[in-house]
Structure 1
Amino acid sequence: MKAIARLSLAELTLLARDPGSLFFMVAFPMMLLVLNSGNDRLDIFVPSYMAMILAIGGIAALPGIMATYRERKVLRRLATTPVSPFALLAGQVVAQLVMGLAGSLIVVGTGVLAFGVDLPAHPLMLALSFVLCALTCCAIGFVIAAIAPRGRVADLLGMLVMFPMIFLAGAAIPREGLPEPLRRIGDYLPLSQGVTALRESWFGAPTATPLLILAGIIVVSTAVAAALFRWE
């Protein structure tokens, strides 16, 4: 546990020092919320932006970090130490969770305090949905890191997966405003289940289906990443 805690703190420190991570996971969602503050249904955007923050961290940022560590032989050097591969991966996940939580709290706080958005109806279900959505995004990120040969390729693949997904899944803009064909595509995207779970928990009508689907995606993606990932 001490190794995981230390690695988590180290990875979180690196994320916090990265201007790109700070902007896209903390400042950017809040800016979008302010820009949409004139919308009559601003409350829809808050849980959706939480999913977007998690996708930016887990799908767009994490793959490049892991692939770069492998490219620079960091993973091979760690293999000669008492640090286990599980501790390294857990540290990445915890760092993404904490950074995602920080960005989400800022969005929620801005929405509630500045624009009068109602507090979530089911905080505990919202927390569960948040964790499952974060783990899903990280699991997908690990799959991307597993197939990318270099850090820059992982960054590109992460962006190519993340950007269409946040729009089609309703994380950046409500899916209700998309044309029907695009909404149908979004039905099959993993992040759509995260958005649905967060929104249902926020508005007081949580169901088990999106949570179970997220859990299944986590298991399958983790298994695929474990099978494909190369440590050097």
Structure 2
Amino acid sequence: MTTDDHHAHSFRPRSPAGCTSLDADDPGRRENDRPLHREPHRATGRKTKVLRRLAVTPTSPAMVMAAQLVVGLIQVMVGVSAAFGVAVLFFDAGFPVDVFTAVMVLSACCVAMYALGMIVASVAPTPNAAAAIGLIAFFAMAALGGMFGPMENLPEQVAAIGSWLPFGAAVEAFQSAWIGETVRWENWASLGATTVLGVGVASAFFRWD
């Protein structure tokens, strides 16, 4: 090898991300160099090997799920607060009669829906599959729970099923809290059972890779 060849090999050009040209040709190497903070979802975390890295630390599955839940709740609260602020300022929306119960219903709904999302993230093989399954499940529950029209317009049996699903239970509970009525125990039971089921299934099927 000549002196010029040696210098050319030693000063191999680097990509903007700081990788050599060989790194740019190696998808596996680029995959392992991705920063951890880019990955908030467990389905994507398995694909990018983030969870495999966490597996060699003292982090437990419960800690991972709890951290994601806290971040998700913060995002929801910020979004709901902004939306409600717009509704109050521009559409003369009123506050719920029972504010405390309304906040409790919102929190229970968020936790229950997130628990369902953890089930999907635990069993879905890829991020795209997780997104597809999650969207289908959400819109199915929303259709039965009154998102596209009052549940009273649905057949009686279908409306009964929708009221026991977490979306429909949350809608009914919100309506009760907003007008100052007592939230039915069935609504609380639905949201609580969904949370317990979601956490249990997600913990059972949790995998690092």
TM-score between the two structures when normalised by the length of structure 2: 0.73
Counterpart of 1:220 in structure 2: which amino acid? L
> Does residue 122 in structure 1 map to residue 98 in structure 2?
yes
Question: Does the C-alpha gap of structure 1 residues 185 and 212 become closer, same or farther in structure 2, counting only changes over 3 Å?
Answer: closer
Q: Which residue in 2 is equivalent to 1:4?
A: none
Q: Select which of 145, 150, 162 maps to 2:126.
A: 150
2:61, 2:206 within 8 Å by CA — same for their partners in 1?
no
After superposition, the Cα gap between the structure-2 partners of 1:14 and 1:70, relative to the gap in structure 1 and judged at 3 Å, is closer
Q: What runs of 5+ residues in structure 1 fail to find an aligned partner?
A: 1-10, 16-61
Residue 14 of structure 1 deviates from its aligned partner by 6.2
- TM (norm. structure 1) is 0.67
Which residue of 1 is the match for residue 154 of structure 2?
179
Aligned length: 172
Q: Is 1:138 paired with 2:114?
A: yes
> For 1:195 and 1:227, how far apart are their aligned partners in 2?
30
For 2:71, give the aligned amino acid: A
2:53 alignment partner, one of 77, 88, 93: 77
- Aligned counterparts, 1:1-232, within 5 A: 65-170=41-146, 172-176=147-151, 178-180=153-155, 182-209=158-185, 210-232=187-209
With a CA cutoff of 8 Å and minimum separation of 6, indicate the structure with the bigger relative contact order: 1
Q: Cα gap change, 1:188/1:124 in structure 2, threshold over 3 Å: closer, same or farther?
A: closer
State how far apart, in whole Å, the 2-side matches of 1:86 and 1:185 are. 31
Cα displacement (A) at 1:84: 3.0
Please state whether the residue corresponding to 2:57 is helix, strand or coil: coil
Q: Deviations over 1:173-224 (max 9, x none)?
A: 3424633265344234221111122221122113241123211221122111
Between the two proteins, what is the percent identity of the paired residues?
A: 30
Q: Which amino acid aligns with 1:178?
A: N
- Go from structure 1 to structure 2 and tell me whether the alpha carbon gap of 1:95 and 1:14 turns closer, same or farther (over 3 Å shift): farther
Conserved in 2, the CA contact under 8 Å of 1:67 and 1:151?
A: yes
Question: Structure 1's 14 and 127: CA in aligned 2 closer, same or farther, altered over 3 A?
Answer: farther
Give SS of 1:173's match: coil
Distance 1:180 1:217, change over 3 A: same
Match of 1:7 in 2: none
Counterpart of 1:59?
none
Aligned to 1:231, what secondary structure does the other structure show?
coil
Displacement over 4 Å in runs of 4+: none
Letter of the 2:150 partner, please give it.
R
Shift of 1:229: 2.1
Secondary structure, in 3 states, of the residue corresponding to 1:121? coil
| Residue 118 (structure 1) shift | 1.4
Between 1:153-162 and 1:76-85, the stretch displaced more is 76-85
Contact persistence 1:175–1:183 (CA under 8 A): no
Q: Which has the higher helix share?
A: 1
- 2:191 partner letter: L
CA–CA distance in 1 between the matches of 2:47 and 2:80? 32
Q: Is the 8 A contact 2:42 2:121 kept in 1?
A: yes
Deviation at 1:225, TM superposition (A): 1.5
Give the drift of 1:102.
Answer: 1.5
For structure 2, the residue ranges without an aligned partner over 5 or more in a row are: 1-35
Q: Which amino acid aligns with 2:116?
A: I
